[in-house]
Amino acid sequence: MSDAEAPADEWTLPDDPRAVREALIEWYEADHRDFPWRRTDDPYEILVSEVMSQQTQLGRVVAAWEAFLEHWPTTADLADADRADIVGFWTDHSLGYNNRAKYLHEAAQQVDDEYGGDFPETPEELQELMGVGPYTANAVASFAFNDGDAVVDTNVKRVLYRAFDVPDDDATFEDAANDLMPEGRSRVWNNAIMELGGVACEQTPRCDEAGCPWREWCHAYQTGDFTAPDVPTQPSFEGSRRQFRGRVIGTLREYDELELDALGHRIRVDYVPGGEYGRDWLTELLTDLESDGLVALERDADGEHVARLRR
């Protein structure tokens, strides 16, 4: 359904919303994927899981999350760590843009310096932490403190669109999700509705196989129309800017510093100083990393540009 076909505010809850809520929570509590961050209410551990999950499949996040917390088990440990080590960990585990590691480090330092080691608890306060946007702040408030609004990600939008014919409009999705969520139960509810979208109401639905608890109310199940809002596809990592950012970080970890051409030849086989992927391309990449506070780009005694990790 397009916005032109239905005004953004045209949708209704089922006649018995309490039954809808109870059905979903009972389904989730009976059986769900056992991710380790679902077994904790530690805000630091949950923040790490949320940041890691932004660009990585959940199955791959588990090992990285456990290893990260083994290295830096508390906010204080992370705040005291060498940033280059944190960024190196991020790169080694292919966790997406490595400036997220930098932001996580800075957020830990804020918690230590500005909040005396105690995490802020509300979505508004959590957004004051470096790199923490509205979605992540609300997720931490929900899962750590059971005091958040409804979490609305791609899975939740798909569920609401199909089950209750909620129009494809971000503000309406937010309103619908919050109307559905039972008061004071944001932790279990947000986990449950995201689980529904992750294992039953996927792009290719598995209603019966997954025992979807909303089949009796679901508009899509009744009509057979399982269309849903477009889901953005993740750009290919191979050959991407993210990949070469990671290669720069990984290479500079091995050396105190490298001249541009020496670095270029180490990160891509087709590096030619004056070519399409040459000094100009590499300088632009390094300038971005410098802006993110990850790399220092300087001149040596001979006036040649050199790059090193910022520590």
DSSP string, 248-283: HHHHHTTSS-EEHHHHHHHH-TT--TTSTTSHHHHH
Phi and psi torsions of 309, nearest 5°: -70, 140
Q: Mind listing the pLDDT tens digit for each residue in 76-112?
A: 999 999 999 999 999 999 888 888 999 999 999 999 9
| pLDDT for 227 | 87
3-state secondary structure (DSSP) of residue 13: coil
Q: Mind listing the pLDDT tens digit for each residue in 172-206?
A: 999 999 999 999 999 999 999 999 999 999 988 89
Cβ contact 219:205 at 8 Å = no
Tally Cβ neighbours within 10 Å of residue 304. 12
| pLDDT for 82 | 94
Domain 241-309: assigned CATH number: 1.10.10.10
Read off the pTM: 0.74
Catalytic residue among 5, 26, 50, 304: 50
**What residue segments make up the domains of the chain, in order of their start?**
14-231, 241-309
Per the prediction, the chain carries an average pLDDT of: 89
Cβ contact 111:79 at 8 Å = yes
Beta-bridge mates of residue 297: 307
Region of poorest pLDDT, from 124-138, 199-213, 216-230:
216-230
Q: Mind listing the pLDDT tens digit for each residue in 244-279?
A: 899 999 999 888 789 999 999 889 878 888 988 899
Cα 69 to Cα 51, 76, 77, 225: the distances in Å are 13, 12, 10, 44
What share of the chain in percent tops pLDDT 90?
68
| pLDDT for 165 | 92
| pLDDT for 4 | 37
pLDDT tier, 230 (very low <50, low <70, confident <90, very high otherwise): low
Mean pLDDT (whole number) for 271-293:
91
pLDDT tier, 6 (very low <50, low <70, confident <90, very high otherwise): very low
Cβ contact 196:159 at 8 Å = yes
Beta-bridge mates of residue 259: 306
Cα 182 to Cα 59, 211, 220: the distances in Å are 29, 22, 23
Tokens 């994927």 found at: 33
Mean pLDDT (whole number) for 20-31:
96
User: Is 50 marked active-site?
Assistant: yes
- CATH superfamily assigned to domain 14-231: Hypothetical protein; domain 2 (1.10.340.30)
- What is the token pair recorded at 193? 């509705």
Concatenating the DSSP letter of every residue in 198-214 gives: HHTSSSS--TTTTT-TT
Strand order in the sheet with 295-299: 258-259, 305-309, 295-299
Q: State whether the Cα torsion 293-141-192-227 is positive or negative.
A: negative
What share of the chain in percent tops pLDDT 70?
94
